[in-house]
Amino acid sequence: MRIVVGITGGIAAYKAPELVRLLVKAGYEVRCAATEHALEFVTRVTLETVSGAPLYHDLFASGGTEHISLKDWGDMLVVAPATANIIGKVASGIADDALSTLLLAFSGKPVVMAPAMNSLMWAHPAVQRNIATLKSWGIRMVGPAEGELACGTSGVGRMAEPEEIVRSVATLLQHTGTLAGQRWLVTAGPTYERIDSVRFIGNYSSGKMGFALAEALAEAGAEVALVSGPTSLTIDHPRVTLTRVESAREMYAAATSLFPQCRGAILSAAVADYRPATAADHKLKKQGDEGMTLQLVQNPDILATLGGMKQAGQTLVGFALETDHELENAQGKLQRKNLDYIVLNSLRDKGAGFGVDTNKVTILARDGRREESPLMSKREVAELIVKTVAP
């Protein structure tokens, strides 16, 4: 396995050579990437000696594309120490030096950060918000630990010890599943579209199919970003990061920002096609005998948008919930939304679809292949889908 160690400019950078030494000793191939500030704390010669490879620290030294070659080379990027500065840059999408450029390019592969800073900086709401953003994208944090800090005080902010970082790396990489090192996006559950402060338009999706897909992908070794509408389900898997949303527009925002970093996406959510044109911020009163008219406007189509964003090498899988002309309608969605596969759910099949623990699906591939499942648990259906779309 190949690991890129990124080093930023904090006093804990003096521990980076030890981290590299331990990773090499554990059998990993290592290359280092450092910011200019990191080189105030640790020298190029030290990092090149312990890693046995040239250091990447100048964005333009070899034609300005080294960040892409290094991204292609590495199976994982470990940033230790990660200062408040690099955390803020990545959270804001800033790429203005060798390491931040590499971090933005390192999509679809696991990234680990070991934050290190003064405890006041660590507690700052901006840093906490940025950490939450990075975690929601699937970036793993190791530490920081509590203890003595370089400024003479003590508190939370010490970089995790190199041995602990190596253990985390080993745990993350030990999975030898076929999807190890890949990141996948899954949408699940219903969306709620607000009418007023107490009412919404929703549907009967429980989220069970989407959560089962997230588990099946994670069990196959993938890092999974699960975006779910309102559901009582929870998930506790080290490789699944859950983002809860309410409306179709919130799901759209989350899914479109996560998709570019993913190897593929499976959209099983039952997204409301329409929402009320306006949502009252108070409880609407009864309108009397004449009834009430709600004006609805169309929601964005998340799947079609991802179909438009899809790059070579990404796999996009949609679901189709149909009541009639099932195959024909599903084929139409597959073509129109630029999908690689579509999973057809027929509401005519007993025991399939909303709420229940079982499902029965037909998986249609773009090249015409077709796979039909018997009625099985949603977990078994999820495994079949994962095996078919990510063999």
Q: Which residues bind ligand PMT (CB under 6 A)?
A: 187, 189, 205-209, 248, 267-271, 273, 299, 301-303, 318-321, 333, 345, 353-355, 378
**Alpha-helical runs (H) found in the chain:** 16-25, 44-51, 66-73, 84-92, 98-105, 119-123, 125-136, 162-173, 208-219, 248-258, 302-309, 326-336, 378-389
Q: Which of 130, 220, 235, 234 is nearest to 183 (CA)?
A: 220
Q: Which residue, 154 or 335, has its beta carbon nearer to ligand PMT?
A: 335
* CB 328, min distance to ligand PMT, A: 13
* CB 23, min distance to ligand PMT, A: 41
* CB 55, min distance to ligand PMT, A: 44
Q: Which residue, 89 or 333, has its beta carbon nearer to ligand PMT?
A: 333
Token representation of residue 65: 């594309």
Q: Residue 234's CB: how many other CB atoms inside 10 A?
A: 7
Calpha distance 347→370 (Å, rounded): 19
* CB 198, min distance to ligand PMT, A: 24
Q: Catalytic annotation on 151? A: yes
DSSP-assigned letter for residue 367: T
CB 197 within 8 A of CB 370: no
Q: Which residue, 205 or 261, has its beta carbon nearer to ligand PMT?
A: 205
Calpha distance 69→262 (Å, rounded): 18
Token representation of residue 229: 């509408």
Q: Which residue, 125 or 355, has its beta carbon nearer to ligand PMT?
A: 355
**Residue entry with tokens 């030494």:** 21
Q: Residue 226's CB: how many other CB atoms inside 10 A?
A: 27
* CB 380, min distance to ligand PMT, A: 13
DSSP-assigned letter for residue 56: B
* CB 374, min distance to ligand PMT, A: 16
Amino acid at 42: V
Q: Which residue, 57 or 208, has its beta carbon nearer to ligand PMT?
A: 208
Q: Residue 388's CB: how many other CB atoms inside 10 A?
A: 16
Q: Which of 3, 4, 8 is nearest to 116 (CA)?
A: 8
Q: Which residue, 273 or 372, has its beta carbon nearer to ligand PMT?
A: 273
Of these residues, 151, 198, 292, 297, which one is catalytic? 151
* CB 44, min distance to ligand PMT, A: 48
Instruction: Give Cα separations from 173 to 130, 166, 181, 240, 325 (angstroms).
Output: 25, 10, 8, 15, 45
DSSP-assigned letter for residue 231: -
Q: Which residue, 50 or 195, has its beta carbon nearer to ligand PMT?
A: 195
Residues sharing a CB contact under 8 Å with residue 10, sequence separation 6 or more, in sequence order? 41, 81, 83, 116, 117, 159
Residues annotated as catalytic (active site), given as ranges: 151
